[in-house]
Amino acid sequence: MLFETICIQNGSIQHLSYHQARFDRSRSALFGTECEPLDLGSVIRPPTGTGILKCRVVYEREILDVSYHPYAPRRVRRLKMVESSLGYTHKFTDREALDELFEKRGSADDILIVRDGLVTDTSIANIAFFNGRGWVTPKTPLLRGTTRERLVKSGFLIPRDIRAAEIADFQKFALLNAMIGFEPVENGIIV
């Protein structure tokens, strides 16, 4: 099974076209082009009200479940680098391998996954680094997140290979995903 996590802000669905594109790519890649097109916008019916909700759409060939939950951000300031050959090109509900890596974080808030010497993602978000002139993001993330895709398309983020050994050269980092948007981490630490 796969899922999409979509931010609902004050009853409004955020950046639906990017979620629809990933949903369509994943269904086509895993279930073939014979899948009948499905419109996420037709099944997402956010409750009215204010605040931020996390909408979770679980699917395979068909949509299996749509649920809404209050969103509570997790504070992440300290990352621990963890080497792994993990592949995660589609957003699967089975996150056992990611959870096992997360358990290696020690006293850190999250992990920074490194594959073949290159930085990829954290367990919950894509990552970007500020080099004094602009923001760069790994060219080969584990998962091409919707916020990452949007910011790359706008030209705000520049994808490139980022070696683990380069991390100390950057001034700061930012986490990005559908729920937090783009969040620079002030005084963040990577060990």
Q: Kindly report, residue by residue over 77-102, the tens digit of the pLDDT.
A: 999 999 999 989 999 999 999 999 99
Spatial CA neighbour of 28 closest among 40, 37, 39, 19: 37
Residue 71 contacts by C-beta under 8 Å, 6 or more apart in sequence?
7, 51, 52, 53, 54, 179
Check residue 50 and give its pLDDT: 83
Check whether residue 58 and residue 100 sit in a common domain: no
Predicted local distance difference test score (pLDDT) of residue 191:
87
Residues 147 and 92 in one domain: yes
Query: CATH number for the domain including 65?
Result: 3.30.470.10
Determine contact, residues 148/159, Cβ cutoff 8 Å: no
pLDDT the model gives residue 34: 77
Q: Are residues 38 and 83 in the same domain?
A: no
pLDDT at residue number 80: 97
CA distance 149 to 111: 21
Task: Answer yes or no: do 85 and 171 share one domain.
Answer: yes
Q: Under a CB-based contact definition with an 8 Å cutoff, are residues 24 and 39 in contact?
A: no
Q: Provide the domain limits for residue 142.
A: 78-190
> Which pLDDT score is estimated for 70?
95
State residue 188's pLDDT score. 87
- How high is the pLDDT of residue 166? 94
CATH number at residue 158: 3.20.10.10
Query: What per-residue confidence (pLDDT) applies to 168?
Result: 92
- The whole model's pTM is what? 0.93
Domain count, the chain: 2
Boundary (domain end) residue, out of 17, 45, 70: 70
Residues 185 and 114 in one domain: yes
Can you list the residues of the chain whose pLDDT is less than 70? none
Residue 148 pLDDT = 98
